[in-house]
Amino acid sequence: MNAPLSTDGSTRLVDRRECQHVTLPPEEEAYRVAILLLPGFSQLSLSSFLDPLRLANSVAGRRFFEWSVSTSDGKRVECACGIHVSADHAFSNIVSAISSVARPHMVVLCAGEQVETQASAPLINLLRLCRRDRVPMAALGTATWLLAQGGMLNDAPCTIHWEKMPALTETFSRLNVMNNLFVKNDDLITCAGEFASFHLAMELVSNRLGKETASAVCHHTTALQWRSGSDKQWSASSEFKGVSKTMSEIISLMEQHIEDPLSLYDIARCVDYSRRQIERLFDRYVSCSPSRYYMRLRLERAKQLVEHTNMPQVEIAVACGFVTASRFSKCFRDAFGRSPTEHRVCSVTTTRRIRQESSFDTAAITRR
C-alpha cells in the first residue's frame, strides 16, 4: 500500500519489496530543492522532475529530498494546461533563505512558452544571487532563456527544448547551444524539459542515493531505465538511425547547415556517396528528392523562428538560407498556406485562445 505523501517530500515506505536489496547512505540532512514557477509553466516538466524525488523518498523510507514551491508574489500560479498550483513562498523568501541555515541545495526554475516576457528584475536578481553564492541551479525547458537574458550562460554549453532552440541560438548568438537532454556546467544545469526532466531527476537520485535506489524508482514508474544527459533530443536525423546510417548522416548535415545550405554535390562528398545514390536513398525512405526534403527542414526552422521570436522577416530568411525575403515568403506560403507575417499573427492569436479555453474556474467546480 502506498502511504500518503506530503508536499515537502516526507513519506513512508511504499513497498519493502522495492528496496529490500537497496543499500542506502547513512542518515543525513535532507536535500532541499526550491522550485521557482512562472505563469504558463509546463506541468509535465515539473511533475517529471518532482515525482522521482518523491518516489526516492518513498522507496527509501526516509526524507532524503524535500522541496518548496515559490512564485513571484507567493500566490498560486497557472500552468500551461490551466491548472493552478499553490505556492509556499514568494521569490523574496528564497533571497532571504540563501543566507540562512535553510539555504536551498538547488534552485529549479520552471517556465513555459511565454518565457521571453518573464525576465522581471526581482527574478533576474535572484538568479544572479544564486549564481554569485554558488547555489546550484537547474533550468527546465524554456527556463534556459531566462538564464541567457540574465547573462549567466555566456559561452558555456547549454540546452533548451528543441522547439525553442533556433530562437535561442538566433537571439543569443554567443551561446553554445547543444541538442542534449540536459547539460551540466559547474553549478548550472540546463535541461530540455518535459520528459527530459525525469532523466535529470533520476541522475540526481542516482548520485545521492545510488544506482540501486534509482533503479527501484525506475521500476516503480514502469520506466526501463533513465537516459544520460548527453543523449540527444529529437531531430529529423534520429528517425533514421536504426534504418540507414547514411541517411541519418545526410539529414544531420542538412540540420547543421540551415543558414548556409550545402549543395547535393557537397553532401555527396561528405558521406562518400554519389548524387544518384543519395537520390535513391531519399526516394526509398521519404519519397521525395533531397532538395525538397532540405527545403522542408529549412522552412520548419523558419516556422519556429516566426512563432517563437520577433525577428524581422528578412533576418529569418537569412537565418534559414534564403537569398531574399521575397523568395522566403513565397516558399513559406507554398508550404504553410500563409505568409510568415500572417502565420505569426495567427500563432499569437491561437496561443491566447488555447490558454483561455484551457483555464477553468475551480471555484465553480467546487460549488457544483
CA distances in angstroms from 7 to 45, 67, 68, 167, listed in the order given = 17, 7, 8, 35
Whether this model's pTM surpasses 0.95: no
Measured CA to CA, the distance from residue 231 to residue 136 in angstroms comes to 22
Measured CA to CA, the distance from residue 340 to residue 298 in angstroms comes to 13
- Is 79:40 a contact under the CB 8 Å cutoff? yes
Pick the CATH number of 16-221 from 3.40.50.2300, 3.40.50.620, 3.40.50.880, 3.40.50.300: 3.40.50.880
CATH 1.10.10.60, the chain: domain bounds: 236-355
pLDDT in tens, the chain (368 residues): 333 334 444 444 444 444 444 555 555 689 999 999 999 999 999 999 999 999 999 998 889 999 999 999 999 999 998 999 999 999 999 999 998 888 999 999 999 888 988 999 999 999 999 999 999 999 999 999 999 999 999 888 999 999 899 999 989 988 999 999 999 988 999 999 999 999 999 999 999 999 999 999 998 998 878 888 888 887 777 778 778 889 999 999 999 999 999 999 999 999 999 999 999 999 999 999 999 999 999 999 999 999 888 899 999 999 999 999 999 999 999 999 999 999 998 876 655 554 555 444 434 433 33
Architecture of domain 236-355: Orthogonal Bundle (1.10)
Q: What angle do CA 235, 152, 160 make, to 5 degrees?
A: 15
Q: What angle do CA 170, 172, 174 make, to 5 degrees?
A: 110
CA distances in angstroms from 195 to 12, 14, 141, listed in the order given = 26, 23, 10
CATH 3.40.50.880, the chain: domain bounds: 16-221
- Nearest C-alpha neighbor of 254 from the set 224, 291, 287: 291
Q: Cell 537547474 maps to which residue?
A: 138
Residue 80 has which C-alpha cell? Answer: 500551461
